[in-house]
């Protein structure tokens, strides 16, 4: 752990995939192949390859230019129009990969009991509605004071504006009073520290090499489980008193 800033903490902001939600290794082609088969079974291999290429390109843009995208743009780039059945299959294929970490609800509840605001900032191509359906399903939605999904703003992490938007979404004005929790040393840790937030790393994810950024932050703390945040944040609050 590095030296911790002395400002009182007002808000804890979380990444979603790999942080609040459990990381799973995913065969993206296999996922898109099952979806493409419902669009055109005879061309499913071709369509899946185009969809993988398009999705990979928008994530590369996120990594290099910190610009956001949407599922609709991925399909447009691939020149594939998803049918209602294909969209249903898309949700079904991703459903197992949206599961919360086992201690997520307890952790968020305990942090709120400390008087802290809770927010989410997720690099995502999914809509707010999709994320809120997932959070409502898992009993998390009512625990959030605000959320920013990059599908609805111009930037992705680690762009400073993405972090500042998340801070404003929970009603906080000073980055030094925020702690960001994430699984990526570039997007989450370096990005948060670059705007003056404290950063906690939770190294659960097998992040693909192609998604690794050029820089890494040195977190103020590293935790192995979300529940470890509760005593950690409490100790930081004591030290700032």
Q: Within this chain, do residues 108 and 198 fall inside the same structural domain, yes or no?
A: yes
Mean pLDDT for all residues in the chain: 93
**According to the model, what pLDDT value does residue 31 have?**
96
Q: In terms of residue numbers, what domain contains 86?
A: 28-96
Burial code (b: 16+ CB inside 10 Å, e: under 16) for 140-149 equals: beebbbbbbb
Confirm whether 6 is domain-assigned. Answer: no
Q: Residue 185: which CATH number?
A: 3.40.50.1000
Q: Supply the pLDDT for residue 1.
A: 43
Residues 165 and 85 in one domain: no
Same domain as 221, residue 131: yes
Peptide bond into 94 cis (omega under 30): no
- State the pLDDT at residue 241: 60
pLDDT at 103: 94
pLDDT for 58-85, tens place per residue?
999 999 999 999 999 999 999 999 999 9
Within a domain: residue 186? Answer: yes
Q: What is the pLDDT of residues 182-217, one digit of tens each?
A: 999 999 999 999 999 999 999 987 777 777 788 888
Q: Which three-class secondary structure string do you get for 136-174?
A: HHCCCHHHCCEEEEHHHCCECCCCHHHHHHHHHHCCCCC
- Residue ending a domain, choose from 96, 124, 154: 96
- Which among 198, 175, 177 is positioned nearest to 188, based on CA atoms? 198
Q: Which of 69, 96, 123 is the last residue of a domain?
A: 96
**178 alpha-carbon distance from chain centroid:** 17
pLDDT: which is higher, 208 or 149: 149
Q: Is 167 contained in some domain?
A: yes
Q: Above 80 in pLDDT, residue 52? A: yes
Instruction: For residues 82 and 166, state if they share a domain.
Output: no
Residue 4 lies in a domain: no
Tally the domains of the chain: 2
8 Å CB contact between 13 and 166: yes
Q: Inform me whether the pLDDT recorded for 2 exceeds 70.
A: no
Average pLDDT (26-33) is 94
Distance, in Å, from the CA atom of 94 to the CA atom of 171, rounded to the nearest integer, reads: 31
Q: Are 58 and 130 in the same domain?
A: no
């Amino acid at each position: 752990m590095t030296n911790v800033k002395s400002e009182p903490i007002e808000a804890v902001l979380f990444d979603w995939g790999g942080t609040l939600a459990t990381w799973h290794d995913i065969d993206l082609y296999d996922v898109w192949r099952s979806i493409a088969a419902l669009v055109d079974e005879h061309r499913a291999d071709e369509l899946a390859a185009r969809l993988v290429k398009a999705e990979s390109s928008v994530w590369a843009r996120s990594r290099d230019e910190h610009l956001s995208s949407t599922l609709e743009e991925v399909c447009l780039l691939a020149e594939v129009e998803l049918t209602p059945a294909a969209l249903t299959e898309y949700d079904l294929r991703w459903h197992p990969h949206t599961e919360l970490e086992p201690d997520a609800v307890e952790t968020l509840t305990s942090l709120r009991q400390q008087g802290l605001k809770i927010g989410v900032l997720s690099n995502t191509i999914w809509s707010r509605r999709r994320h809120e359906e997932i959070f409502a399903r898992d009993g998390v939605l009512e625990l959030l004071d605000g959320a920013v999904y990059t599908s609805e703003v111009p930037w992705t992490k680690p762009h400073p504006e993405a972090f500042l938007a998340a801070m404003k979404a929970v009603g906080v004005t000073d980055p030094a009073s925020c702690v960001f929790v994430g699984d990526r040393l570039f997007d989450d840790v370096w990005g948060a520290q670059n705007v003056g937030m404290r950063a906690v790393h939770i190294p659960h994810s097998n992040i693909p090499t192609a998604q690794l950024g050029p820089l890494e932050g040195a977190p103020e703390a590293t935790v192995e489980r979300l529940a470890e945040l509760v005593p950690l944040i409490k100790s930081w609050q004591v030290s700032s008193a």
